[in-house]
């Protein structure tokens, strides 16, 4: 496995098959598609240089010069490794020799970053923009939590970042923060009405000082008056902190009376639309985030997910299956439109949903995911998940998220490899070409994607089609902008191993998980269990060693040995078993998984369990009731929550306070170890998971866990039997 990790360190890529199947047929037999999980902003090793110039591209296919290119030093010609086109080096490469190679040709720099110098920034506004969209239909207590959360966050925002504020309830209030001593102003839009961008601009007076005719298309940022207008709504954090805080101080619960049998009128859809329009007018093309703080379901206007009457429950998975959620499709359509707009503008939608109820994350998913937004689901704005996650967004340092924006992701491959699509937080740029496969999955039918928002761990799952038996290379490139600079990273891959030896089980499980989630969302009547089972059985039949019809003879190579367990857990995971979750939760889990890297995704699929005893400092334990023992502390990490579980004896000791006594130093350390590890886990993670401490019941054996699911052993039995048939 480590080789895969090494490769990931170098190229930020994990592939289920590190050797590509040679033929289409062979690829089909591989069950798990040829694919790659690529983390575009994964920090590169410190040794990798940052090239301060623009990369050299093939004139024919626009691919980038890379270590696999063949260079003829005498003629100063390089042959593109994809299309075999011969390119002359430009003048400044004239000094190139075998001993004097530019960094991008160093074999170890298959992934390298360029800093684009002459690319003109698309906008004058180069700093980050944060537009807060705050729900006010929440109880005073929640408002208090939210207010303090926001205040802290605002304190963390870099002073030059632009900040804007929209609050909403029944109506959408766009706050004019640039009032400087004059009377504060708020523009109030009707939440129950769809509103076009033109209307918004006209109504907030954007075109007041200049005839509209001059505003063809996107308003030019060079117009001075635009700058004036922008500065009414978006101000550098340093300048508007006071104004912002004063508005927040006066923030009140939406004043519209809510009858006891009704939900509060909340126009989330309109609020987000207005926010998008505002950003579209103010900072088109430059990185900006709409950060929505939602405290309940949308009930007003377009995008509402449920009627106001409390007698009508919010849609469940069952309703969605039966197509009995009357508002769902309309809302999704709205957000799909919104996502297109945001993608076009290069802006991100982040959602912080804090409510006991669902707020409509399932509907919002498309907009969040396409724009690469963050999503946090919690029960209350007072909950640590919210508070810590929000801070996380703005914090700097080792654990910073590395929020970047306006990414563009392109792919070039050898001609016999085609791209089916990407499952992950990005949006198709609809760049069609010969490299596009006929079948599409996720964001397909293109070789370029927009990643409006991305961070260090954002990972895309690329799925390929193999059409011919020739092994070739793949290249990925991506743009990023962080702290205002535009950078380009090029990763070039070439993989050869024996098929089985090159199988990355973790990557495979993650690909399967993304695939199954995707199919569940998009294919009607899709039976995920059956599909997973069949895939696993076929995989085992294809790669296992066995005598036909003799289950006991079945042996899997170590390269594949864990995959059945992954699939077994995937079958029972929240991604597949939606029964106990609301559509919002399911959407949330899937969104998080779809953007996480392999290691994190695996934890989501199969939680990690670590046991601590006096004898061992922490070793993995089986995900089984059997792992519970009185003298053990278990640390369960299911990615979304972290649980520290004290065995009954440990719990008793702890209650007795032994850890405070000097002679029981060891016990104190034992207690501390899992907490320490949990803290480490929590630190690196977004959304920040809650950590729970729990104790085993004092009466041992008091709890027997019942479950409908077959146990792993039974599962394996069946698998063996079916695989050998």
Partner 1 sequence: MATPGGPRPGNLPPNYNPNSIADNLHNLQINRPNQPPYPGNGPRGPPPAFGQQPNSQSQPFPSSGPYSSSPFSGPSRPGPPPPGVAPRGAGPPSSGPPHGSMPPFMAANRPTGGGGGGTSSSNAPPMPASRPLTSGPLPSSAPVGPPGPFASSPLTSGPPGPPPNVGGGSMSNGPPTFGSQSMQGGPQYPSANVRPRPSTGPPPAPQTMSSFLGGPADNQPRGPVPPFSAPPRGMQPPTGPPPFSAQGQGAPHPQGSPFGAQPWQMQSRQNAPPPPISGSAQPPRMFGMPPPLPNQQSMATISPATGPSGNAVSGPSKIDPNQIPRPVPSSSVLLHETRQGNQANPPPPATSEFIARDTGNCSPRYMRSTINQIPCTSDLLNTSGMQLALLVQPLALPHPSEEPIQIVDFGEGGPVRCSRCKGYINPFMKFVDQGRRFICNFCGFTDETPRDYQCNLGPDGRRRDADERPELCRGTVEFVATREFLVRDPMPAVFFFLIDVSMNAVQTGATAGACSAISRVIADLPEGPRTFVGIATFDSTVHFYNLKRALQQPLMLIVPDVEDVYTPLQTDVVVPLSECRQHLDLLLESIPTMFQNNKTADSAFGAGMKAAFLAMKSTGGKLLVFQSVLPSVGIAALSAREAEGRTNISAGDKEPHRLLQPVDKTMKTMAIEFAEYQVSVDVFITTQSYVDIASISVIPKTTGGKIYYYHPFSALSDPAKLYNDLRWNVTRPQGFEAVMRVRCSQGLQVQEYSGNFCKRIPTDVDLPAVDCDKSIMVTLKHDDKLPDGTECSFQCAILYTTIYGQRRIRVSTLSLPCTTMLSNLFRSADLDTQFSCFLKQAANEISSAPLLQVRDRVTDLCINILHSYRKFCATVSSSGQLILPEALKLLPLYTLALIKSIGLRTDGRIDDRSFWINYVSALSVQLAIPLVYPRMMSIHDLNSKEMDGSVIPSPIPLSSEHVSDDGIYLLENGEDCLIYIGSSVDPDITQKLFGISSASEIPSQFVLEQYDNPLSKRLHEVVNEIRSQRCNYLRLRLCKKGDPSGMMFFSYMVEDKSSNGLSYVEFLVHVHRQIQSKMT
User: Rule CB under 8 A: which residues touch partner 1?
Assistant: 171, 173, 182-190, 193, 195, 199, 202-205, 208-209, 246, 249-250, 254-257
- For partner 1, the closer CB: 208 or 238: 208
CA–CA distance, 686 with 52 (Å, rounded to integer): 32
CA–CA distance, 356 with 374 (Å, rounded to integer): 19
Nearest-approach distance from CB 204 to partner 1, in angstroms: 6
- For partner 1, the closer CB: 169 or 424: 169
CA–CA distance, 416 with 83 (Å, rounded to integer): 11
Nearest-approach distance from CB 134 to partner 1, in angstroms: 15
Nearest-approach distance from CB 326 to partner 1, in angstroms: 24
Nearest-approach distance from CB 235 to partner 1, in angstroms: 17
SS3 for 558? helix
- For partner 1, the closer CB: 184 or 402: 184
- For partner 1, the closer CB: 249 or 665: 249
H or E stretch including 237?
helix 237-249
Nearest-approach distance from CB 578 to partner 1, in angstroms: 39
- Are 188 and 297 in contact, with CB atoms under 8 Å apart? no
Q: How far apart are the first and last CA of the chain?
A: 30
Nearest-approach distance from CB 223 to partner 1, in angstroms: 17
Share in percent of the chain as helix, strand, coil (round to 5): 35, 20, 45
Nearest-approach distance from CB 340 to partner 1, in angstroms: 24
H or E stretch including 377?
strand 375-378
- For partner 1, the closer CB: 171 or 394: 171
- For partner 1, the closer CB: 250 or 549: 250
Nearest-approach distance from CB 62 to partner 1, in angstroms: 46
Nearest-approach distance from CB 245 to partner 1, in angstroms: 11
List Cα–Cα distances, 591 to 187, 192, 481, 514, 677, in angstroms: 33, 28, 23, 10, 26
- For partner 1, the closer CB: 144 or 551: 144
Instruction: Quote the tokens at residue 269.
Output: 């859809």
Longest Cα separation, the chain: 85
- For partner 1, the closer CB: 119 or 228: 228
Q: List beta partners, residue 190.
A: 171
CA–CA distance, 80 with 66 (Å, rounded to integer): 9
- For partner 1, the closer CB: 14 or 170: 170
Query: Half-sphere exposure of residue 322, counting CA atoms within 13 Å on the CB side?
Result: 6
Nearest-approach distance from CB 212 to partner 1, in angstroms: 14
Q: Which of 577, 708, 539, 477 is nearest to 32 (CA)?
A: 539
CA–CA distance, 444 with 518 (Å, rounded to integer): 13
CA–CA distance, 559 with 546 (Å, rounded to integer): 16
Q: Which of 145, 127, 586 is nearest to 377 (CA)?
A: 586
CA–CA distance, 131 with 277 (Å, rounded to integer): 12
Nearest-approach distance from CB 138 to partner 1, in angstroms: 16
- Are 466 and 34 in contact, with CB atoms under 8 Å apart? yes
- For partner 1, the closer CB: 196 or 552: 196
* Residue for token pair 């009731």: 625
- For partner 1, the closer CB: 46 or 255: 255
CA–CA distance, 85 with 60 (Å, rounded to integer): 7
Distance between alpha carbon 381 and the CA centroid of its chain, in Å?
A: 22
- For partner 1, the closer CB: 186 or 448: 186
Instruction: Quote the tokens at residue 643.
Output: 């649980």
Nearest-approach distance from CB 191 to partner 1, in angstroms: 9
Instruction: Quote the tokens at residue 612.
Output: 């601590």
Sign of CA dihedral 427, 431, 437, 440: positive
């Amino acid at each position: 496995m480590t080789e895969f990790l090494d490769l990931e360190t170098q190229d930020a890529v994990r592939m289920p098959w590190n050797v590509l199947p040679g033929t289409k047929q062979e690829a089909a037999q591989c069950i798990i598609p040829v694919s790659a999980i690529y983390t575009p902003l994964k920090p590169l090793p410190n040794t990798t240089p940052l090239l301060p110039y623009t990369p050299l591209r093939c004139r024919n296919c626009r691919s980038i010069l890379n270590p696999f290119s063949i260079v003829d030093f005498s003629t100063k010609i390089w042959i593109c490794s994809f299309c075999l086109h011969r390119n002359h080096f430009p003048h400044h490469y004239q000094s190139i020799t075998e001993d004097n190679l530019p960094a991008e040709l160093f074999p170890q720099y298959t992934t390298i970053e360029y800093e684009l110098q002459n690319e003109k920034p698309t906008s004058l506004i180069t700093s980050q923009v944060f537009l807060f969209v705050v729900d006010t239909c929440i109880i005073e207590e929640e408002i208090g939590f939210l207010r303090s959360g926001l205040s802290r966050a605002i304190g963390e925002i870099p002073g030059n970042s632009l900040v804007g504020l929209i609050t909403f309830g029944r109506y959408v209030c766009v706050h004019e923060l640039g009032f400087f001593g004059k009377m504060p102003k708020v523009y109030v839009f009707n939440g129950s009405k769809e509103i076009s961008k033109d209307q918004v601009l006209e109504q907030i007076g954007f075109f007041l000082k200049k005839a509209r005719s001059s505003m063809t298309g996107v308003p030019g940022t060079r117009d001075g008056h635009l700058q004036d207008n922008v500065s009414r709504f978006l101000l550098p954090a340093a300048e508007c902190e006071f104004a912002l805080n004063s508005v927040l101080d006066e923030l009140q619960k939406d004043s519209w009376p809510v009858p006891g049998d009704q939900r509060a009128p909340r126009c989330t859809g309109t609020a987000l639309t207005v926010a998008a329009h505002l950003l579209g007018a103010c900072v088109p093309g430059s990185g900006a985030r709409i950060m929505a703080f939602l405290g309940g379901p949308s009930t007003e206007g377009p995008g509402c997910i449920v009627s106001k009457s409390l007698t009508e429950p919010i849609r469940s998975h069952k309703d969605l299956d039966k197509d009995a959620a009357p508002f769902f499709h309309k809302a999704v359509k709205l957000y799909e439109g919104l996502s297109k707009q945001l993608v076009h503008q290069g802006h991100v939608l982040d959602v912080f949903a804090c409510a006991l109820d669902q707020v409509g994350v399932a509907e919002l998913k498309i907009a969040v995911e396409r724009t690469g937004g963050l999503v946090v689901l919690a029960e209350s704005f007072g909950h640590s998940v919210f508070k810590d996650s929000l801070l996380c967004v703005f914090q700097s340092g080792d654990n910073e998220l590395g929020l970047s924006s306006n990414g563009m992701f392109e792919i070039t491959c050898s001609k016999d490899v085609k791209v089916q699509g990407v499952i992950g937080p990005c949006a198709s740029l609809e760049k069609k070409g010969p490299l596009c496969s006929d079948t599409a999955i996720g964001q397909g039918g293109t070789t370029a994607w927009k990643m409006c928002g991305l961070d260090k761990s954002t990972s895309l799952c690329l799925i390929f089609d193999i059409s011919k038996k020739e092994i070739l290379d793949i290249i990925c490139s991506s743009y990023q902008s962080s702290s205002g600079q535009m950078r380009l990273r090029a990763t070039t891959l070439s993989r050869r191993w024996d098929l089985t030896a090159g199988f990355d089980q973790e990557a495979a499980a993650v690909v399967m998980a993304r695939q199954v989630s995707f199919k569940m969302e998009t294919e009607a009547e899709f039976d995920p269990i059956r599909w997973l089972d069949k895939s696993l059985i076929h995989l085992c039949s294809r790669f296992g060693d066995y005598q036909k019809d003799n289950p006991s003879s079945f042996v899997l190579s170590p390269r594949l040995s864990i995959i059945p367990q992954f699939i077994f857990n995937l079958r029972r995971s929240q991604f597949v078993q939606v029964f106990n979750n609301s559509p919002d939760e399911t959407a949330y889990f899937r969104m998080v998984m779809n953007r996480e890297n392999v290691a994190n995704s695996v934890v989501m699929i199969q939680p990690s369990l670590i046991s601590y005893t006096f004898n061992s400092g922490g070793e993995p334990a089986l995900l089984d009731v059997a792992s519970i023992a009185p003298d053990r502390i278990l640390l369960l990490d299911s990615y979304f929550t972290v649980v520290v579980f004290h065995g009954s004896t440990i719990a008793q000791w702890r209650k007795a306070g032994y850890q405070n006594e000097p002679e029981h130093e060891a016990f104190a350390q034992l207690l501390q170890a899992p907490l320490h590890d949990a803290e480490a886990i929590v630190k690196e993670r977004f959304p920040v998971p809650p950590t729970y401490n729990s104790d085993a019941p004092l009466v041992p054996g008091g709890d027997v866990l019942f479950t409908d699911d077959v146990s792993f052993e039974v599962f394996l039995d069946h698998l063996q039997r079916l695989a050998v048939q």
